[in-house]
Chain A
């Protein structure tokens, strides 16, 4: 009973915070609203005996949102929230699509005959996960590791400034550098 009440409160507040992300005018408030949505959703994970994963989501999202606030202040045009912020296109279409998707998903959730028998929860779900990723699921973790490494390389390439390969070509044989400003900006 207490668990059902806690779930109802966290679920409603999580969805409300998610909606607030796209309603508030301040970038920092939008980021903190997203953080609130994540923390409340992670609490519902804690109710499922997923203590390690729930705490992991809370800690990871807290750090990510702190970084996101800094990026938003750097890049976006209304960090202080002093003016209304409505940078949307096809707002009505997006709203119709998302409500339609939710209706279809909700209908499917109620129509599908979910199994009634619930298997017993292991005494230590975290131990179950640890043994899995070090044993039967090690290949999954290795692939995830390769994806993370590729992400580091891709983000560095995307965010770095123009180098000599941009100016002189891949084989560095161009006689005159291909600069937006002759002689190179800042040289």
Chain B
């Protein structure tokens, strides 16, 4: 095993998540795309820790930070969905412009 297969897996997950984030109209599906992108970052960071700098804890700490970013993204995403749904009864991304003022 080497670093390249793990990085390829991370790149594939990031690309699939990017497709979802760019194309989906639903806020919840958009969140799924973002989560897949963060999943790719987690895999890449873990692989870098193991193959490049296993003697230092920086990679593991970065994985913890990315997992926290994932939790933050979920919480704020659901709050935004709740706010949009209350005002427009759908959870479309385009409805977010209606929330200003």
Contacts and interface: CB of A to CB of B under 8 A. Distances in A.
A122 B98 CA distance: 53
A76 B28 contact: yes
Given A76-B91, A90-B22, A158 B79 contact: yes
Of the four ranges (under 10, 10 to 19, 20 to 34, 35 or more), the interface on chain A belongs to: 35 or more
A158 B61 CA distance: 30
Given A30-B29, A95-B19, A128 B46 contact: no
A37 B39 contact: yes
A21 B35 CA distance: 11
A94 B28 contact: no
Contact of A53 (B29, B64, B92): B64
Contact of A87 (B13, B29, B78, B81): B29
A11 B8 CA distance: 9
Interface string B75-94: 11011111101100011100
A93 interface: yes
A98 B15 contact: yes
A180 to B, nearest CB: 10
A-B CB proximity, top 5 nearest: A132-B57, A94-B23, A102-B15, A94-B22, A98-B19
